[in-house]
Each structure stands twice: as structure tokens, then as C-alpha cells.
Amino acid sequence: MDLDPSEDQRELQQMVRRFSLDRFPADTVRDFAAPGHFDRSAWRELAELGTFGIALPESAGGVGLRWIDTVLVHEALGAALTPGPLVAATLAAGLVPGVLEGEVVPAIVERPTHGAVVVEHLSVADVLLVIETDGIRQLDPSSLDATLLAEPTDPATPVSLVRELPLGELIANADTAKHLRLLGSLLASAQLVGNAEGSTALAVNYAQEREQFGRPIGSFQGLKHLLADCYARTEVSRSAVWAAGVLVDEPEAGDLHRAVAGARVLAGRAAAENGKTCVQVHGGMGFTWEVDAHLFLKRAWILETAFGSIDEAAEQVAESLSASLA
């Protein structure tokens, strides 16, 4: 047993985070969703780092590491607020030619049981993958009856409304679909952990600099305890996400489905709560468009719904409890 990342793994995280902050600085993230703002060359550079193929074998053009490494990379991407269909690209890289290299930009969505469907990044995607119970189907985004929504909740995540999803071509079987959904949930959770850490760092920084009553606001215990809670939530949820990541590689060492569901409950809450705290700690500044606090919070809300909600995840954990007693 070893649940502590190696030097190499920490360096991989730092490398991705530095690259991301450099190529996707906050100013571009802020209106990334606006038409024409998706930077294809930066996306290609991100792909060239190996970002979307961390766990793909080298023979398939990947980096040949493991899923836990992919989890660590997504944590770094989440902390840097990196925009774009990151989870979609990581899931599609082994299925759709060109995604791994960043030439083909994918979007991914689960087929809803009824009604219209909201799809992230569809407006910039070359291909749409649909996760269904019987497998994964591929669609051409340009063939869809879709409307780009004018005001996405997260200004860095463009969303389109698709009134009806046609069937499309089956490109993977039901088992793959199930597994990809699980991985998608986990990678979104990994980004949520990074997000929780990032918003905490932003808030701590402000608390150290901003002065009121003649001293830094971070010296007030009311804020200190809020921020200590943020730290604790980040570390606890990070532990859950890492354990789930290791279980993808070693499914015999535990209950992978329960671990992924549990990770979502913890990471979703951590990011949402820490993001709220970040806005509150910034006072009036926190309520402005200009300060990054809302970007963390809004991204957290988006990720929280990716591949299953917190409620659904809590239900899954509960079911695993009654199954283990049966």
C-alpha cells in the first residue's frame, strides 16, 4: 500500500499546472465560451504534452502510465481552471482518431431519459459521443438541431441545447460505455478536488493581503476557521479521489464503483463549499465578474453534474452498503 504520490507524479502535476496557467491564463478562461474564443492551437499543445493519453499504452500513442496518473493530471487541470472538453478528450482519445493529438475536438454527453439535452463544448466539437446503455454512439455535431446558449453559467464552458439526439453510429459496446461513464465521473471529481484547492488558495491569498480594522482580514478567526474547513474538505476529498484512482488500476483491491461514487460526494461538496467560501472571503470584490472567485464556483457547479449527481452518488454508496450486508 502506498497512497502518496511519487516525486515523478508530483512533477507531472506541476508541469501540467504550469503549462496550463501559461497557455490558458485567467483572462482567456474568463470568456472562453464566447464564440471564436476556443484556442485550437493551445488545445493542440495541451494534447502534445500527452494530456489526453496518460493511461493509453505507448503502442497506441499514449504515455503508458496508469489511471491514477490521469487522475493526478485532472486534479492539476482543475486547480488551474483549464477550459475545454478535458474529460471528453481523455475518454475519447482511445476511441476516436485525432482526439489524442488534439486535432479532433470531442464533446460527450449521456443520453437523457427524456426531453432536450444540454451539451458542453458542442459548439467547438468536431464529434459528439453519446453514452448509452447499449454502448457509445458517435454523432456529427453539424448534423444536430442545436442552439448555442447565450449565457452559460460558467463563462468558460459553452453549452448548447440539443432538442433531440439522433441515434448515430455505435462505436463501442455496453461495457465500454459503463466504464467510460465511471472514468468520466472520477476525472470530473479529480478536477473538483483541484478546483477546491485552487479556490482555497485564492481566498487565502486575499485574506493575507486585504486589511480591515488595521490588520489583515486573515487574522480574524471567523475567516480562519472557514478557510481551515476548506483545507480539510480538500484533503479529505483528495484522499477519496486518489483511492478511487488507484482502484481503477487495481480493481481487486476494493470496491471501485463505491469508491468513485463516494469520491463524487466528497469532491462535489468540497468544491462547491470552498468556492462559496472564496466568494465570501473576498467581500464585495467576490461579487464582481473581475475576481476569479466566481469562475471556480461556477466550474464546480458544472463539474458536479458531470456523469452523475451527488444525490445519485450518495444513493450508489448506500446501495453498496446494503449489498455488502446481504
Partner 1 sequence: MHLRDSESDAEFRAELRAWLADAVTTLPAPPDATDWPGRRQFDTVWQNMLFEAGYAGVNWPAEYGGRGATPTQHLIFLEEAAAAKAPDVGVGFVGQMHAGPTLIAEGTPEQQAHHLRGILTGDHVWCQGFSEPGAGSDLASLRTRAIRDGDDYVVTGQKIWTSHAMVADYCELLVRTDPDAAKHKGITWLILPMDTPGIDVRPLMTVQGSAEFAELFLDEVRIPVANRVGEENDGWRVTNVTLSFERGTGFVGELLDTTNIMGELVELAQRTPRGAGTVWDDDGLRRDIGAIAAELDALWAFTKRNVSQGAKGGMAMGSGSAFKMSYATVVHKLGDIALRVLDRSSLAFDDIGGESTGAQIHHKLKGFAVGIGGGTSQIQQNIIAERVLGLPRER
**Identified binder of partner 1 from the candidate list 21, 116, 148, 317, rule CB under 8 A:** 317
Among the residue ranges 55-63, 103-111, 113-121, 217-225, the one whose residues contact partner 1 (CB under 8 A): 217-225
Give whichever of 242 and 296 is closer to partner 1, judged by the CB atom: 242
**Residue 212, interface with partner 1 (CB under 8 A)?**
no
Measured between alpha carbons, how far apart are the two ends of the chain, in Å?
Answer: 28
d(CA 318, CA 302): 24
**Identified binder of partner 1 from the candidate list 96, 100, 124, 243, rule CB under 8 A:** 243
Minimum Å gap between C-beta 19 and partner 1 is 22
Residue 189: name the closest of 302, 294, 65 by CA.
Answer: 302
d(CA 242, CA 235): 10
**Residue 150, interface with partner 1 (CB under 8 A)?**
no
d(CA 36, CA 38): 6
Give whichever of 84 and 245 is closer to partner 1, judged by the CB atom: 245
Q: Give me the count of residues in the chain.
A: 326
Instruction: List the Cα angle 118/123/128 in 5-degree steps.
Output: 70
Alpha-helix runs per DSSP H in 24-173:
26-30, 40-48, 67-79, 86-92
Which residues in the 272-311 window bind partner 1 by CB under 8 A?
Answer: 311
Minimum Å gap between C-beta 75 and partner 1 is 13
d(CA 27, CA 18): 16
**Identified binder of partner 1 from the candidate list 65, 192, 227, 272, rule CB under 8 A:** 227
**Residue 322, interface with partner 1 (CB under 8 A)?**
yes
Cβ-contact 81, 101 below 8 angstroms:
no
**Residue 221, interface with partner 1 (CB under 8 A)?**
yes
Residues that bind partner 1 (CB under 8 A): 1-6, 9, 68, 200, 204, 207-208, 215-216, 218-221, 223-225, 227-229, 231-233, 235-237, 239-240, 242-243, 245-247, 249-250, 252-254, 258-259, 261-263, 265-266, 311, 313-322, 325
